[in-house]
A and B are shown apart, each in its own frame.
Chain A
Amino acid sequence: MRHSIFSLARAALSGHKNWQRTWRDASPKDHYDVVIIGGGGHGLATAWFLASEYGIRNVAVLEKGWIGSGNAGRNTTIIRSNYGLPGNTGFYELSMKLWERMEQDLNYNTMVSQRGVINLYHSDAQRDAYARRGNTMRINGIDAELLDLAAVKKMMPFLNFDNARFPVQGGLLQRRGGTARHDAVVWGYAHAASTLGVDIIQNCEVTGFSRDANGKVTGVETTRGKIGAGKVGMAVAGSSSRVAAMAGLRLPIESHVLQAFVSEAIKPLIPNVMTFGAGHFYVSQSDKGGLVFGGDIDGYNSYAQRGNMPVMEDVCEGGMALMPMIGRVRLLRQWGGIMDMSMDGSPIIDKTPVDGLYLNAGWCYGGFKATPGSGLVFAHLLARDEPHKEAARFRLDRFRRGAMIDEKGVGAQPNLH
């Protein structure tokens, strides 16, 4: 895709009918070196890294609907790397660094905006916990600043500082965090991968795995016919258990619904991404002006891509506690996405016990920020047959070994992560 001022003018003046497609909508070939199931951000990023970093270009990405129609298009677009545990800290910082160069890498405007992510604290104990987290980040070379009340007031004078029950005391700020345009991330990876020869195949649902006499996966059966593959990678978070079941695997994952919300557009208000520390509420403002926000998962297993009222009420109450003046803003849209809730709240990127089948799953509700990092480490695993050093702890057998990466410390109860 190359544009000039003349090509832009020509397409604009001819009824917008002559734009070049940014990526090829391919038909399946008989065989690929690597087949990736799932045309979301992670699957497409994996394909791009396979082609660009590891020189494997005979790759197909299979998507049962249209690319980006799952969680890649349903999140709240937040990027950050403020994790506290070994494994997560390094991985999410790798991802953050890839966000910072994504637009140059892909030659695509993904609207990465490092507007800062601030986690507000509301008690002495929470301040201490955030100080510890900030220190953990800084020891690992990640930016973090602990702000006191005066600094938060200067940055966000519109917050309710008179809340007697949950007074804002300050916040932990990661200035490099922010947002990115989720759809553009999908299209950007599709564009860049397609340019390097990756086949992106839509409306192609995987219905089973082809296995040889030794049980090795040799391809996939799909609604568009059989497709042979040297290796098959799954990047289908939300549906990981369903796809893995076709290969006879049971995973340490439950599927849960997470809702997200957008208000009607208002004038610029929220300068960054901020979270309410006394409940679960996170918000940013899109470039169109809508407040984009969310909170907890609903808490029950679901594949329905829609949630229920109690969580909606809880999320809106969190917003009202911070900013009572948004009470008159109307909710414009609300939707749900299906999350792979793993047993420790952290992802799984590993080979499976089935030869030839590789797993990228368990993103809980933090998959969007991981998109570039996930693509790189999963491509590394597929290309080299060994984990990338920043994903070496995201093993499938860590539950059996007791090597959990449990940021919240709540144990094997997925709806609490």
Chain B
Amino acid sequence: MRIVCPFCGERELGEFTYLGDAKPVRPAAGASEDDVFDYVYLRDNIAGETTEHWYHGGGCRAWLKITRNTLTHEISSVEPAAGAGAAKVGA
């Protein structure tokens, strides 16, 4: 698998770190326990095309939003994830 970074060009997989599904959004501070449980623990775990957050630590250190097929590893789109680098803190 090679990833075409929008800033660095085509680079090998070893330069990138995986965070996971880009879909879950951190619930607001006052959200219910169910919403938080859902966000932290449950996954769609899709077999097919899915959008994910990757970090280009071995290059420009940008967070990327990548659309990739989990059945084939084919990557159909790579875009910078503005603010998504902090996906875990909810930006």
User: Interface of A with B (CB < 8 Å)?
Assistant: 239, 241-242, 250-255, 299-304, 308-310, 313, 343, 399-400, 412-415
Interface of A, helix, strand, loop or mixed by DSSP: mixed
Please tell me if the beta carbons of A252 and B43 are within 8 angstroms of each other in the complex: yes
Contact of A310 with B43 at beta-carbon distance under 8 Å, contacts A300-B18, A304-B72 already known: no
B89 CB to closest chain A CB (Å) equals 14
> B43-74 toward A: CB 8 Å interface, digit per residue (1/0)?
11111001010100000000000001011110
> B23-40 toward A: CB 8 Å interface, digit per residue (1/0)?
000000000010001101
Please tell me if the beta carbons of B70 and A302 are within 8 angstroms of each other in the complex: yes
A138 CB to closest chain B CB (Å) equals 34
Please tell me if the beta carbons of B42 and A251 are within 8 angstroms of each other in the complex: yes
A263 to B17, CA, bound (A): 28
A239 to B71, CA, bound (A): 12
Contact of A303 with B47 at beta-carbon distance under 8 Å, contacts A308-B1, A308-B13, A309-B13 already known: yes
- Residue of B18, B37, B45, B71 near A400 (CB, 8 A) is B37
Contacts of A313 in B (CB 8 A): 14
Contacts of A242 in B (CB 8 A): 45, 47
Contact of A412 with B70 at beta-carbon distance under 8 Å, contacts A299-B18, A301-B52, A310-B14 already known: no
Nearest A residue to B72, CB-CB: A304
A251 to B46, CA, bound (A): 11
Nearest B residue to A340, CB-CB: B45
On chain B, the number of residues with a Cβ less than 8 Å from chain A's Cβ atoms is 27
Contacts of A251 in B (CB 8 A): 42-43, 45
B20 on interface, CB distance cutoff 8 Å = yes
A236 to B18, CA, bound (A): 25
Please tell me if the beta carbons of B70 and A310 are within 8 angstroms of each other in the complex: no
A416 CB to closest chain B CB (Å) equals 10
Since A251-B45, A343-B41, A412-B41 are in contact, a sample of 8 more A-B pairs with Cβ atoms closer than 8 Å, ordered by chain A residue number, is A242-B45, A250-B43, A255-B45, A301-B52, A304-B70, A309-B14, A310-B13, A415-B18
A44 to B12, CA, bound (A): 40
- Residue of A250, A299, A308 near B42 (CB, 8 A) is A250
A158 to B41, CA, bound (A): 44
B35 CB to closest chain A CB (Å) equals 12
Nearest B residue to A306, CB-CB: B73
Please tell me if the beta carbons of B71 and A301 are within 8 angstroms of each other in the complex: no
A253 to B37, CA, bound (A): 13
Contacts of A308 in B (CB 8 A): 1, 13, 73
Please tell me if the beta carbons of B52 and A300 are within 8 angstroms of each other in the complex: yes
Between A and B, 25 residue pairs with Cβ closer than 8 Å are A241-B43, A242-B47, A250-B38, A250-B44, A251-B43, A252-B43, A254-B43, A255-B47, A301-B18, A301-B46, A301-B52, A302-B73, A304-B71, A304-B72, A308-B1, A308-B13, A308-B73, A309-B14, A310-B12, A310-B14, A313-B14, A400-B41, A413-B20, A414-B20, A415-B18
B80 CB to closest chain A CB (Å) equals 19
Contacts of A304 in B (CB 8 A): 70-73
Contacts of B50 in A (CB 8 A): 301
A399 to B34, CA, bound (A): 11
B48 CB to closest chain A CB (Å) equals 8
